[in-house]
Amino acid sequence: MTYNLSTLNGEKITFLPEKGQICLEDARFLLVSADGLGTLTKDLISTLGRDRAKGFLLRYGWTCGYNDARIAQRQNPDHSELSLLYHGAYLHSLEGSTHVNVLKAEINLEEKHCLMESTWSNSHEAEQYCRHFGLSEELVCWTLTGYASGFASAIFGQRVLFREVKCVGMGDQYCQVICKPVEEWGTELEGELDYFTESKISEELEEAHRRIKKQNKFLKQVMGIHEELNRLILEGGHLKDIVEVVGNTLGNPIIAEDRYLETLAAWAEPGKELSSFLLSSIEPASDFIRKQLAIIKREKKTIDIICKDHSLLPRTVTPIIIESNVYGYLSIIHSTKVNIELIHLIAERVAEVIGFILLQERMIFETENRFKGKFIR
Ligand SMILES: [Zn+2]
């Protein structure tokens, strides 16, 4: 079935330079260059990132389409919904966005049925995208699909979405779209609807600022610990000095144990029972801990141990390595809320320093023994 679009109002463009206006029937429009919009899109993507820009342009297109549909309904009160859908396709072409060729259009308000399939040629959006960014791995006609979705939703009275199945921006010869009610798209729309929800950039920036301030505080702590550790090494500090400095700065218990889980050094706030933090207080009963330690030993990496049965406080455990072998384990207990990433950094640095001190002690011991041997001979 074809529709004679000339029977619809809303297709007569009037230029009124004396008033500084362009009107499509009684609605005011602007003549904007495609290059100008392309530059705006490029700047939006560069400034806001692709996802944000996509959401912004989809919502912008939706509003334009929705408003055009309302004008079309007002100007053509006697026309069927199907005829108005075709009119939307025509307006999309008339406004210079893309040439629409409707392949299929069905709408039945009572049965809540709406299906439309079209091809789009000469999409100005795909053209501009490719001009600025080259070919894309994803569909790029965001304003256009937003417009068509907004228009059809206004006519249908419920939210319907146009989605591209082909796009010139991805190297296809033309763009192709399908329109269905949101519910009928099902899981295919996963994540897509989020783009239609306005997010306040100012709130997100505020949140990012709070995060950065917090991370700065942690970074200062890390730098402070780093400097203290360097000082202790230069002054010939012992293991107990190391764990005390780090524990005091963090406010979290810290324990160094050898591979047989003999305590090398430990620190906890005065009044706290240290023995309850030791891995040996759980071992050898816990298979779970044994398996976790085996992973650390095998992969020589830091892990966070969290017991589901709460028999052990959550902790970050990192290997103490001497000459490529795991000599023991350093645990930082999460007795307060911790920033995992930074605790890992600190734990690994402390384990390095402990490894260095233990190696130094071993070398001194061996050297002394060699001298003793020579002296005795
Ligand atoms: Zn496209």
SS (H, E, C) 207-261: HHHHHHHHHHHHHHHHHHHHHHHHHHHHCCCCHHHHHHHHHHHHCCCEEEEECCC
pLDDT at 356 over 70: yes
pLDDT band at 26 (very low <50, low <70, confident <90, very high): confident
Rounded to 10 deg, the angle between the 340-376 and 201-234 helix axes is: 10
Name the more confident of 284 and 111.
111
CA of 32 from ligand 1 middle (Å) equals: 20
Q: What is the pLDDT at residue 154?
A: 95
CA of 131 from ligand 1 middle (Å) equals: 13
CA of 174 from ligand 1 middle (Å) equals: 7
Give the contacts of 96 (CB within 8 A, at least 6 positions apart). 34, 124
Mean pLDDT of 141-166: 95
Q: Is 88 exposed, middle or buried (0-12, 13-18, 19+ CB in 10 A)?
A: buried
CA of 142 from ligand 1 middle (Å) equals: 8
Q: What is the pLDDT at residue 165?
A: 95
Q: What is the pLDDT at residue 308?
A: 66
Domain positions in the chain are 35-199, 203-376
Q: What is the maximum span of the chain, computed from C-alpha positions, in angstroms?
A: 117
Q: Which residue has the tokens 């103490």?
A: 320
The three state secondary structure string of 162-218 is EEEEECHHHCCCCEEEEEEEHHHHHHHHCCCHHHHCCCCHHHHHHHHHHHHHHHHHH
Q: What is the pLDDT at residue 80?
A: 92
pLDDT at 376 over 70: no
- Distance from C-alpha of 119 to C-alpha of 178, rounded to nearest angstrom: 9
Q: What is the mean pLDDT of the chain?
A: 86
CA of 218 from ligand 1 middle (Å) equals: 46
CA of 171 from ligand 1 middle (Å) equals: 9
CA of 164 from ligand 1 middle (Å) equals: 7
- Distance from C-alpha of 364 to C-alpha of 375, rounded to nearest angstrom: 16
pLDDT band at 224 (very low <50, low <70, confident <90, very high): confident
CA of 133 from ligand 1 middle (Å) equals: 14
Q: What is the pLDDT at residue 51?
A: 87
Q: Which CATH superfamily is domain 35-199 in?
A: Trafficking protein particle complex subunit 3 (3.30.1380.20)
Mean pLDDT of 159-185: 94
Q: Say which DSSP state 281 is in.
A: G
Residue 130 near residue 138, CB atoms below 8 Å: no
Q: What is the pLDDT at residue 377?
A: 60
pLDDT tens for 60-112 read 999 999 999 998 898 888 899 999 999 999 999 988 999 999 999 999 888 88
CA of 99 from ligand 1 middle (Å) equals: 12
Q: What is the pLDDT at residue 9?
A: 59
CA of 102 from ligand 1 middle (Å) equals: 15
pLDDT at 202 over 80: no
pLDDT at 375 over 80: no
The answer to which of 53-57, 130-134, 368-372 has the lowest mean pLDDT is: 368-372
Q: Considering just the CA atoms, what is the radius of gyration of the chain in Å? A: 34
CA of 194 from ligand 1 middle (Å) equals: 20
**Residue ranges of the alpha helices (H) in the chain?**
34-48, 50-75, 81-94, 124-133, 142-156, 182-185, 201-234, 239-250, 287-299, 340-376
Q: What is the pLDDT at residue 131?
A: 92
The answer to which of 2-6, 73-77, 103-107, 301-305 has the lowest mean pLDDT is: 2-6
Give the contacts of 212 (CB within 8 A, at least 6 positions apart). none
pLDDT tens for 310-345 read 567 788 999 999 988 999 999 999 887 777 888 898
pLDDT at 254 over 90: yes
Query: Percent of the chain scored above 70 by pLDDT?
Result: 92
Residue among 350, 352, 355 at smallest CA distance from 228: 350
Most confident of 17-31, 123-137, 349-363: 123-137
CA of 106 from ligand 1 middle (Å) equals: 22
Q: 307 in helix, strand or coil?
A: coil
Residue among 154, 158, 151, 9 at smallest CA distance from 79: 9
Q: What is the pLDDT at residue 269?
A: 87
**284 preceded by a cis bond (ω within 30 of 0):** yes
- Distance from C-alpha of 100 to C-alpha of 32, rounded to nearest angstrom: 20
Q: What is the pLDDT at residue 257?
A: 92
CA of 176 from ligand 1 middle (Å) equals: 7
* Sign of the Cα pseudo-torsion (278, 284, 285, 288, in order): positive
pLDDT at 201 over 70: no
Q: What is the pLDDT at residue 274?
A: 77
pLDDT band at 38 (very low <50, low <70, confident <90, very high): very high
Q: What is the pLDDT at residue 186?
A: 83
CA of 73 from ligand 1 middle (Å) equals: 27
- Distance from C-alpha of 50 to C-alpha of 137, rounded to nearest angstrom: 12
Q: What is the pLDDT at residue 319?
A: 95
CA of 182 from ligand 1 middle (Å) equals: 20
Q: What is the pLDDT at residue 2?
A: 41
pLDDT at 213 over 60: yes
CA of 144 from ligand 1 middle (Å) equals: 8
CA of 55 from ligand 1 middle (Å) equals: 16
CA of 103 from ligand 1 middle (Å) equals: 16
Q: What is the pLDDT at residue 1?
A: 39
Out of 3.30.450.40, 3.40.50.300, 3.40.50.12280, 3.40.640.10, which CATH number does the structure's domain 203-376 have?
3.30.450.40
Q: Which residue has the tokens 């001009």?
A: 131
CA of 147 from ligand 1 middle (Å) equals: 13
CA of 42 from ligand 1 middle (Å) equals: 16
A 10 A CB-CB count for 298 gives 10
- Cα angle 314, 319, 320 (rounded to 5 degrees) comes to 125
